[in-house]
Copies of this chain bind each other. A is one copy, B any other.
Amino acid sequence: MSIDVVRKWVDRPLGMQDLFPQQAKFRRKVESVLLEEFDEHGFEMVSCGAFEYVDTLLRGRAAAEAEAWVRVFDTLGRTVALRPEMTPSIARMAAPVLSGGNKEIKWCYAERVYHRTDDPASLSWVSGRAAESTQVGVEWIGPSSHEVDAKLLLMCQSGLKRLGLKDWQMVVSHAGFASAFLSASGIESAVVDDLLAMLARGDYVGFRRIVDGQEDTELASGDVLLSVLSKLDPFSSSRLTDLIHVSWKDASLGKQVEHYWDSLVQFAAQLKSMGLANQLTFDLTLTRDISYYTGIVFEVFANGVGAPVALGGRYDGLLASFGAPAPAVGFTYEVERLMAALSEIEWTTQPTNDGETGASE
């Protein structure tokens, strides 16, 4: 095409991404490698339609969490949405199976998930709110123990190694700890919710500003609270009261914090016994923006990719809201983010002036 010819090519909608040769094949390859890993561990693939009732997707979650979903009305006037993640669909499918007598369900999936494009963040695959992206994940429903959680983390790491990913960091936290800790420290529950939202976004400046704006002069500063949360290391095996010298404003909440801590210390011991002590770090400021998590939560970060390449946690209350109470834990890989992290190793792609994409190994 000569440079004096200007053509207007047909656009794709906001947030949609084209994958040219090599890229599309590479994505399917990444999916397949991860599915193989799951298969070897006894997880069976399931699938379902891309639409769910909003009511289904909201079980165990706050209504505000639905803001970023692509919603439409079905022909009966009920609101359906393109799923933003797979866990609610899996829970919906698993409930009758559990009720039928199955004690353990090990399922995996490889599916596209969706978010609204109002937010500029939806335009990037690494933002964490891509308009469309691919998740390959597992749900392990039934058993509940530190060993099960540790095995899940181990399998997550094993999948990353199978892909040949180098330079990744796994960060582990607990869904209830920061909330209980902040409440026990004397912060009102509405403010705690705001603080957790700041942590989920990684906005530490906002966190400090909110804490330091409170009228209660007896509160610790935002800096101190953040510093305590981020430095607590369950591998140290210490009692919480030996690590931090606090007088809880609310004794029963304080007990709750200490209970979570003891559980984390036991989990750390389990990890150590499985040789995982050097494969991950704890950071109790890590907070997920999904409210159905009840136990450990974790994220995996890779060099050069802003959002986690894998993430998950334990959600022991969700299945009950689908009519079949059972503990469960799961995680998902974010395939396009993994591709970005792997791309320096595996392939590079450069769009030409004509929008064509060439790939080299």
Residues of B near A19 (CB, < 8 A) are 46-48
Min Cβ gap A314→B in Å is: 21
Classify chain A's interface size: 35 or more
CB proximity to B under 8 Å, residues A30-70: 32, 35, 44-53, 56, 59, 70
Known A-B contacts A1-B99, A24-B109, A110-B28; the reply to A323 vs B13 at CB < 8 A is: no
Q: What is the bound-complex CA distance between A89 and B354, given in angstroms?
A: 17
Q: What is the bound-complex CA distance between A55 and B141, given in angstroms?
A: 45
Asked if B356 contacts A100 (CB within 8 A), the reply is: yes
Asked if A51 contacts B10 (CB within 8 A), the reply is: no
CB proximity to B under 8 Å, residues A149-201: none
Residue-by-residue, is A267-288 near B (CB-CB < 8 Å gives 1, otherwise 0)? Answer: 0000000000000000000000
Asked if A132 contacts B13 (CB within 8 A), the reply is: no
Q: What is the bound-complex CA distance between A130 and B43, given in angstroms?
A: 28
CB proximity to B under 8 Å, residues A315-361: 322-323, 352-356
Known A-B contacts A13-B80, A53-B11; the reply to A18 vs B46 at CB < 8 A is: yes
Q: What is the bound-complex CA distance between A52 and B16, given in angstroms?
A: 8
Asked if A21 contacts B107 (CB within 8 A), the reply is: yes
Asked if A246 CB lies within 8 Å of chain B CBs, one says no
Instruction: From B8, B17, B47, B117, give the contact of A18 (CB < 8 A).
Output: B47
Asked if A95 CB lies within 8 Å of chain B CBs, one says yes
Residues of B near A142 (CB, < 8 A) are none
Residues of B near A56 (CB, < 8 A) are 10-12
Instruction: From B10, B12, B44, B114, give the contact of A322 (CB < 8 A).
Output: B10
Q: What is the bound-complex CA distance between A208 and B107, given in angstroms?
A: 53
CB proximity to B under 8 Å, residues A64-97: 70, 72, 74-76, 78, 80, 89, 92-93, 95-97
Known A-B contacts A45-B21, A93-B20, A107-B21; the reply to A13 vs B51 at CB < 8 A is: yes
Asked if A209 CB lies within 8 Å of chain B CBs, one says no
Q: What is the bound-complex CA distance between A70 and B72, given in angstroms?
A: 9
Asked if B48 contacts A356 (CB within 8 A), the reply is: no
Asked if A118 CB lies within 8 Å of chain B CBs, one says yes
Asked if A27 CB lies within 8 Å of chain B CBs, one says yes
Nearest residue, chain B, Cβ from A354: B100
Q: What is the bound-complex CA distance between A266 and B66, given in angstroms?
A: 59
Nearest residue, chain B, Cβ from A99: B1
Residues of B near A102 (CB, < 8 A) are 356
Asked if B17 contacts A45 (CB within 8 A), the reply is: no
